[in-house]
Structures are given as C-alpha cells and as structure tokens.
Amino acid sequence: MISNERIATPPEKFAKAAGVLYLLTFVSIPTLTLYSSIHDSNYIVSSGPDTPVFIGGILEIIVALAGIGTAVALYPVLKKQNESIALALVCTRVVEACTMFSGAAFLFSVVTLRQSGTGTEGLVTGHALVALYDRIFLIGQSFMPALNDLLLGILLYQSPFGATYPFSDRNNRSTTARIRRHRYPVWFHWTT
C-alpha cells in the first residue's frame, strides 16, 4: 500500500545544507588575482594563458549557484517568521546570481575575442565588456549582498533566537525561559 503521507524534513537539515552552501560561496575569493590579466589594456592583442579567466568564471558560477541554494535551503525555515521577506530573500539571491552569470559571460566574451584573433579592432569591444563586468560586479557582488544581509537580518531578528528580552505567554512564563529549556548553544542564553 502506498502512503500519501508527507515526511517533514527537520530544520536542522536545512540549516546544515545552508551552512555548507554558505561555505561554498567563499570559493570566489581568488578571482581578484585570476582576473588581473584581463584588466590589461592590451589583453585582446597580447599573448598568454586564458585559463585563469576561465577558472575565475567557473568559480563565480559556482558561487552564484551556491547563493541561490542558500536562500532556497533557508526558505522553509525562514518563512515561519515572515513568508514575504523570506521570498524576497530568495528573489534577491536569484538577482545576485544573475548578475554573476552575466559578469562571467562578459569575461568569457573577452576571452573569445582574444582567441578569435580580432586584433586591434576588438580592443574597444574588449574594453567595453570589461567595463560592463566591473559595473555589474558593483551591483551584483557589492550592493545585492548588502540587501540580502538586510533581509536575512530582519528575519533573524524576528525569530525567537533574536528575542533578548522576556515576553510573557499565556501561562505567565517568559519566552526566554522557554527557549532555554531547548538544546541551543550557550551563546543564546547570555542575555538573561
């Protein structure tokens, strides 16, 4: 007999998945050094390896996918606090990832211009693509993470873990005392 029961996934599994994905978002740190050659004004006509740019682009794509994964993994937990803000977090992470995808596409296009041998005719296009990457980097990897953190901070502040002052429930017990009975790390209890 097939059961139509839905098995609930505990929030700890979502939290672990989000934690692993957040750690994965740090793989793009070396891209600053990997992209140093592409900012050279004569990159299109110069010779040298293109592998660092490809590695950097792949690392950015991994980070973009991990960023979407963090929001999707946290959504079932965060929607209990405020579903609209939790969905907004997912949307801003998707927008951030889209800017990273397009930035990587700009850089891959510069490498394609170089490999096709366009010569000096491709310099202006190459400069424009690198400038587009630099501008979209400011939006996607500077502004959007700040917006993501703001939304996540609001959601965490609304959670019971953010409550540092006692509330009374129906039985005149404080909420912080009720939280204390559960298995939470010590740092949740230092305020009471």
CA dist 40 and 185 (Å) reads 50
Distance CA 60, CA 41 (A): 23
Instruction: In whole angstroms, give the CA distance from residue 74 to residue 55.
Output: 28
pLDDT value, residue 5: 62
pLDDT confidence of residue 141: 87
Domain extents for the chain? Answer: 11-158
The DSSP call for residue 184 is -
Q: What are phi and psi of 20, to 5 degrees?
A: -65, -40
pLDDT attached to residue 88:
94
Residue 140 Cα distances to 31, 70, 93, 103, angstroms? 15, 16, 9, 9
Closest CA to 110 of 33, 55, 39, 60: 39
Place of tokens 């989000």: 18
Dump pLDDT digits (tens) for 94-144: 999 999 999 999 999 999 998 888 878 888 998 999 999 999 999 988 899
Please report, in tens digits, the pLDDT of each residue of the chain (192 residues total). Answer: 565 666 656 777 888 888 888 888 888 888 888 888 888 888 888 888 889 999 999 999 999 999 999 999 989 888 888 899 999 999 999 999 999 999 999 999 999 998 888 878 888 998 999 999 999 999 988 899 999 989 988 888 877 655 444 444 555 555 444 444 444 444 444 444
State residue 55's pLDDT score: 92
Position 33 scores a pLDDT of: 87
